[in-house]
Amino acid sequence: MEVIALLVIGAIQGIIEWIPISSSGQILILLSKITGISPGLAYEYSLALHLGTALAALTFYRKAISQALREVNYSLKFRNPTSLLLTVTPACSFLVAAPLFLLIRLQFQKLSADEITAIIGLFLIATGLISLRSSSMKRVKYISNFSLKEAILLGIVQGLSIIPGVSRSAITIALLLGLHFKSEDAFNASFIAAIPVTFAVGLFETINIASPTIIAGILTAFIFGLIAMKGMIMISKKVKHHALLILLGTIIIASYIIALILQKI
């Protein structure tokens, strides 16, 4: 595969990994169209590029992660919510994603889950409109209140994102916003929870592909991933809760339409 193509696709991966559209689905389509490789191989390359975005998240949240690791004691009592996001959540994600991942690799046919992401987009828009008049939405929760039950639920939902077309960011952020977490905290929790899973999957596929050219894509995914994360956190701080829901829903619907167009080209 040409290095230039991987550089471009890696940059795109770095950006869309952290916004609520399916990066695996979109990158898969681009890889197939630009390089002419099979959908199965394109799927493996799209997952390998996640190593770059995982490293970007590790860099971005290095202080929070370091603090969380220091506060985990031997009795496995998680005093820091970040500890839950880095252990319990990915463990649950693995239990859900592992069988789905094997099934997709063995019997990959087409992107059939884009509709799920589109439905999530409609749900976010509807929730945003409802929250305009809902006083209950004012009772926001903070990441400091993150519980074991919520960590497990987040992990289960995140595991479904292994399916091409299902956006990890969309379903996890939608869940956290639906649980009334503060917008900024919802984004941070979603991004931190992604680190173990995306790192493991990305590293596995990078080793499996064993091609020096994939490093080029991973590098650009890392650089643009850092930029995208900072941008999304800034947006979450400035945009009101209901407006953010509507904005994210609109982005998801738009990405679904773009995916349909790409498939027909």
Tell me, what's the pLDDT at 111? Answer: 42
10 Å Cβ neighbour count for 233? 17
Which residue ranges in the chain fall short of pLDDT 50? 74-76, 109-112, 134-136
Closest among 120, 122, 124, 128 to 163, alpha carbons compared: 120
Tell me, what's the pLDDT at 170? Answer: 78
Tell me, what's the pLDDT at 219? Answer: 94
Q: Which residues contact 197 (CB under 8 A, 6 or more apart)?
A: 90, 93, 94, 97, 158
Render pLDDT for 121-159 as a digit per residue (tens, 0 to 9): 676 677 666 556 544 455 578 888 888 899 999 999 988
Query: What's this model's pTM, rounded to 2 decimal places?
Result: 0.76
Ramachandran region of residue 125, left (φ > 0), alpha (ψ -120 to 50) or beta? alpha
Tell me, what's the pLDDT at 61? Answer: 93
Angle at 152 between CA 147 and CA 157, to 5 degrees: 125
Closest among 262, 256, 264 to 114, alpha carbons compared: 256
Query: Collapsing DSSP states into helix, strand and coil, what is residue 20?
Result: coil
Tell me, what's the pLDDT at 124? Answer: 66
Tell me, what's the pLDDT at 222? Answer: 96
